[in-house]
A and B are shown apart, each in its own frame.
Chain A
Amino acid sequence: MAHDHDHDHDRTVKPMVDEITDFEVLEIALRELCIEKGIFTAEEHRHFTEFAEQIGPTPAARLVAKAWLDPDFRQLALTEPMTASKEVGVDWMEPTGFGTPSDFTAFEILADTPTVHHVIVCALCSCYPRPILGNSPEWYRTPNYRRRLVRWPRQVLAEFGLYLPDDVDVRVQDSNQKHRFMVMPVRPDGTDGWTEDQLAEIVTRDCLIGVALPKAGVTTNVITDTRPALHP
């Protein structure tokens, strides 16, 4: 492209993208065709996008904090998890009136004990309790995690910095049908007298998947070193 310099670079907004990728071209083509054919409307597309943009792990963290503080709520969370979800602002029937088409309405909360630790995977794809936990992390969707967690859970957890002693049973939950799962970890030491807000802060997304344990003072997800690919 010819580059004439009759504009001021310092005061020119950069283009958002250098070029449109094949993926973006196809996304636009598919979306516009679906709208044109009446498969869904532009309004429905916007509605679902807005739903997908407001989900995140905060309600799940709050649910765990409430359960730690209130034995009755804990019981409700374990026996009627979707009723308990409503108390943290998540209605599993949203946004369609029958749930999301891919997350279903068969939610279950797996309670850790001092002798059982749960960790979740979808070996077949990336099934994840999105309405209450938000979008799945990139590593959760990788063939690497899906292949290895079911076979070598302790080694994979160790790579996340979670070393479990042998008197704790590891229980891997493969979410391969309509159930979606999240982990309710054991309340850690050093949190006596903490408020619900304080407790919710240490229940990170990784704790809710089961690749980390909540710890006083730790309020962000695990950061692991990743080796670069040999032949990228």
Chain B
Amino acid sequence: GSTVTRNAHHIHAVGKGDPQVYAGQAGEPKFAVGEPVTVRDLPVVFYTRTPEYVRGATGKIATVAYESPAAEDETWDRPDATPEWFYVVEFTMAELWHGYTGTSSDTLRTEIPERWLESASWNPK
């Protein structure tokens, strides 16, 4: 299998790991921990990993996670895909779901690449 073209990723990531193999390729992260962000409602054709339930929702950055090509590009094996920063974003359940029956401080965290995020015009609690 070592001569198979599709093993190129394996060969380039050996000894580093994935996503570590993309470290240092995305430049400066646009957002910092604690910063409020709104999830954009980008067109989704064929594939995405940004859940529908957070589109348009505002949360705050919990972790500046790592650099990686977005799944939307990686899934089609695009050779020119540029790595970007990924963030774990925290949402308040009561703001995410109409009629949420838990407490007002229950939260949900999910991971989102930078292209999907924009600075929020308001600050969630």
Q: Which residues of A contact B (CB under 8 A)?
A: 38-41, 44, 92-93, 96-99, 101, 104-106, 108, 123-124, 150-155, 166, 169-179
> Could you name 7 residue pairs across A and B whose Cβ atoms are closer than 8 Å?
A97-B14, A99-B18, A124-B51, A169-B103, A174-B51, A178-B18, A179-B65
User: Using Cβ atoms and an 8 Å threshold, which residues of chain B touch A171?
Assistant: 90, 106-109
Q: In the bound complex, do residue B1 and residue A98 qualify as a contact, i.e. CB atoms below 8 Å apart?
A: no
Residue B121, interface by CB 8 Å: no
Q: Is the CB of B19 within 8 A of A104?
A: yes
A175 to chain B, nearest CB (A): 7
Residues of chain A within 8 A of B63, CB atoms compared? 108
Tell whether, in the assembled complex, residue B66 and residue A98 are in contact, meaning their CB atoms are under 8 Å apart: no
What 1/0 mask marks residues of chain B from 1 to 43 whose CB sits below 8 Å from any chain A CB?
A: 1011010001001111111110000000000000000000000
Number of A-B contacts (CB under 8 A): 109
Question: A98 and B109 in contact (CB under 8 A), knowing A39-B4, A154-B101?
Answer: no
Residue of A nearest to B14 (CB): A97
Q: Which residues of chain B have a CB within 8 Å of any CB of chain A?
A: 1, 3-4, 6, 10, 13-21, 49-51, 53, 63, 65-66, 68, 71, 86, 88, 90, 93, 97, 101-103, 105-113
Q: Is chain A's interface secondary structure helix, strand, loop, or mixed overall?
A: loop
Contacts of B111 in A (CB 8 A): 174-179
Q: How far is the CB of B48 from chain A (nearest CB, A)?
A: 9
CA–CA, A171 and B110, complex, Å: 11
Asked if A38 and B4 sit within 8 Å, CB to CB, the answer is: yes
Cβ-defined contact, B113 with A177, below 8 A? yes
Those 8 A-B pairs whose CB atoms lie nearest each other, nearest first: A105-B17, A98-B13, A177-B111, A97-B14, A174-B110, A172-B108, A170-B106, A171-B107
